[in-house]
Amino acid sequence: MSRLEEKLEKGLKFTGIEITEEQKALLLNFIRLMDKWNKTYNLTSIRDVEQMVDKHLIDSIVVSEYLKGSTFIDVGTGPGLPGIPLAIINPDKNFYLLDSQSKRVNFIKQVKREFNIKNIFPILGRCENFENSQANPVHFDGILSRAFASLKDMLSLCGNMADQDTLFLALKGQIDTAELSEISDEYKIININKLKVPQILGERHLIVIGKNNG
C-alpha cells in the first residue's frame, strides 16, 4: 500500500466513512492529476499531494451524509472541491461545478473525460450571472460552498440559483457569531453540524441555511 493509500485509509477510518475500493482509487487519481496540473496552472495553494488527502479529499467527503436530494451546484468550486470528491462517492447524485477561472474549469473537464465521471457538469461563470435554462431548468436541492468569504455574500450572490426548497450548504471552520448575525431575514439557519475531521483541519462545520417561508 502506497503512502497516499495509507493516508486515505487513515482519514476514512477516522471519519467513519465507508466507500468502495474503486472510489478510493478514483479519489487518489483525482488528486494525483491535480498535483500534476498544479505545477503549471497553480490550481491550489497546497503543493504537497499527501496534504491534499486530508485538506481536499477528507475535508470534502465529510459533507456527504448531509446531502439531501439529487442535484447540487458547487459554487466557487476551484479545481472541483468539494464537488468532485462528493460526486465520486455519490454516483447517484449530480454535481454542477461553477467557477469563474477557465484554467480550473478546463481541469474539471479533463477530470470528467479522463476518469469518465458522468455526474459532474463543469460551468464557467460567476454566481451572480448564472442563468438557469428556461427550456429545461435545473432545480438545485443544495448550493455548496467551501471558499466563500462570508455567508452574507454567498446568499446574496447565489440567491438567483435557489427556489423555496433549495438549501445552502456552507463548509466553514470555526463558527463566527458576527457572520451568522449578518444573514438577512429572508433566510434562516436550519442547522450547524460539527464535522468529524482529522486534527490537521482544525474545527470544521457545515452550516445549513434555507429560505424563510414568510
Which residues line the annotated binding site for S-adenosyl-L-methionine?
76, 81, 127-128, 146
Q: Which of these, 97, 89, 91, lies nearest to 72 by C-alpha position?
A: 97
Q: How far apart are CA 63 and CA 200, in angstroms?
A: 17
Q: How far apart are CA 185 and CA 208, in angstroms?
A: 15
Q: Which of these, 126, 71, 86, lies nearest to 104 by C-alpha position?
A: 126
What SS3 class is residue 81?
coil
Q: How far apart are CA 111 and CA 95, in angstroms?
A: 13
Q: What is the DSSP string of 115-152?
A: HT-TTEEEEES-GGG----SSSPPPPSEEEESS-S-HH
**CB burial readout 198-212, b (16+ within 10 A) else e:** beeeeebbbbbbbbe
143, amino acid identity: I
Q: How far apart are CA 187 and CA 185, in angstroms?
A: 5
Residue list for the binding site: 76, 81, 127-128, 146
